């Protein structure tokens, strides 16, 4: 054996020794389950000792005929369609304000960011009280400014999703504000100075310099937010439980209920693969876009 070959083997062994502690855990608890979810989606199984039964595409056929699944898909889309742009605009607006050379930026940033790290159980409980229809402070305020019949919020099939959207925007905008702040600090001052010489004022600078320069960041934020919206569960579980009726039942509720309430593991995995397909498509869009933006910048 040549010494070169010996050294290569030694390097390999050293490399494996570094990776192996993580890899064992990763392989057993993440990689295998990911692969297993494809197998499970064509099986019928209640999770017990009774062996699973191969059923082909039956779970998927059942899934697309299931009205609860259709509603949960529709609700998730509805939630995303409003949460993504609202969070984005809020985050961008606050980031631009914070970026205007003000003092005490850390204090403000803390205030905007704290909801993001606060637990959803605590936050859900307090928002439920704030939105309480008869005695809650929000409706009290609405009555005070002359709205006689304020919405019943979480008790109303028309309004419950709006509560979830409002709380989501409040909770997540701080994270994307930090992303935007970092990107804003990367925009060259020269651009603004040049525009100033050409006579551009505040709003025009934002419209024709800031927003175009932030396009790659905005693209990234839209992707992250959309994926996050399709994974929503905790907030809905603690605030409305998917109700009233099925009005806030989302995709992950559907997976959760199928698996851990009805014990239909195969059916739940089929629903989970729909979530996977959606996230995969979004990720592919991101990869294409990333290429485009790296060319552009």
Partner 1 sequence: METGKTRNKIIIYTVLTLLAALMLMPFAWMVFASFKSNNEVFSLPMRLLPREWHFENYKLIWEKIPLMTFFKNTTKLTVITTLIQVFTSCFAAYGFAKVNFKGRDLLFVVYVTTIAVPWQVYMVPQFALMGKLGLTNSHLGLILMQAFSAFGVFLMRQFMMSIPTELLEAARIDGLTEYGIFFRIALPLAKPGIATLVIFTFVNIWNDFMGPLIYLNSTELKTIQLGIRMFITQYGAEYALIMAASVLSLIPVLVIFILCQKWFVEGITAGGVKG
Among 6, 81, 89, 110, binds partner 1 (CB under 8 A): 110
Q: How many helices (H) and strands (E) does the chain have?
A: 15, 2
Contact positions with partner 1 (CB under 8 A) in 156-215: 170, 174-175, 178-179, 182-183, 186, 202
Among 37, 70, 156, 257, binds partner 1 (CB under 8 A): 37
Distance CA 106, CA 19 (A): 38
Q: Is the peptide bond before 245 cis (omega within 30 degrees of 0)?
A: no
Segment contacting partner 1 (CB under 8 A): 34-42, 58-66, 75-83, 146-154? 34-42
Distance CA 172, CA 90 (A): 10
- Determine if 63 is a binding residue for partner 1 (CB under 8 A): no
Segment contacting partner 1 (CB under 8 A): 61-69, 131-139, 154-162, 187-195? 131-139
Segment contacting partner 1 (CB under 8 A): 59-67, 70-78, 80-88, 124-132? 124-132
Segment contacting partner 1 (CB under 8 A): 136-144, 145-153, 158-166, 205-213? 136-144
- Determine if 268 is a binding residue for partner 1 (CB under 8 A): yes
Cβ contacts of 133-142, under 8 Å, gap ≥ 24? none
- Three-class secondary structure of residue 54 per DSSP: strand
Could you tell me if 72 and 272 are in contact, meaning their C-beta atoms sit under 8 angstroms apart?
A: no
Tokens of 257: 């209920």
- Three-class secondary structure of residue 43 per DSSP: strand
Minimum distance of partner 1 from residue 101's CB (angstroms): 9
User: Is 154 or 179 the residue whose CB approaches partner 1 more closely?
Assistant: 179
- Three-class secondary structure of residue 44 per DSSP: strand
Contact positions with partner 1 (CB under 8 A) in 5-24: 8, 11-19, 21-23
């Amino acid at each position: 054996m040549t010494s070169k070959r010996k050294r290569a083997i030694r390097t390999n062994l050293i490399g494996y020794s570094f990776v192996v502690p993580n890899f064992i855990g990763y392989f057993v608890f993440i990689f295998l389950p990911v692969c297993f979810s494809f197998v499970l989606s064509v099986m019928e199984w209640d999770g017990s000792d009774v062996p699973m039964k191969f059923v082909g595409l039956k779970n998927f056929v059942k899934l697309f005929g299931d009205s609860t699944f259709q509603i949960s898909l529709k609700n998730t889309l509805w939630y995303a369609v409003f949460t993504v742009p609202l969070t984005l605009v809020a985050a961008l607006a606050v980031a631009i304000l914070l970026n205007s050379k003000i003092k005490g930026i850390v204090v403000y940033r803390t205030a905007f960011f704290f909801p993001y790290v606060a637990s959803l159980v605590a936050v859900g409980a307090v928002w439920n009280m704030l939105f309480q229809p008869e005695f809650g402070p929000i409706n009290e305020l609405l009555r005070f400014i002359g709205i006689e019949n304020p919405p019943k919020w979480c008790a109303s099939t028309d309004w419950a999703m709006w509560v979830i959207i409002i709380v989501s925007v409040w909770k997540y905008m701080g994270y994307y504000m930090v992303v935007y702040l970092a990107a804003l600090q990367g925009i060259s001052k020269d651009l603004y100075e040049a525009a100033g010489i050409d006579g551009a004022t505040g709003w025009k600078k934002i419209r024709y310099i800031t927003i175009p320069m932030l396009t790659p960041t905005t693209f990234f934020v839209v992707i992250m937010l959309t994926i996050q919206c399709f994974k929503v569960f905790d907030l809905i579980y603690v605030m409305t439980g998917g109700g009233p009726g099925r009005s806030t039942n989302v995709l992950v509720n559907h997976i959760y209920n199928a698996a851990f309430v009805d014990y239909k593991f195969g059916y739940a995995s089929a629903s989970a693969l729909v979530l996977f397909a959606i996230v995969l498509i979004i990720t592919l869009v991101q990869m294409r876009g990333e290429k485009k933006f790296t060319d552009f910048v």
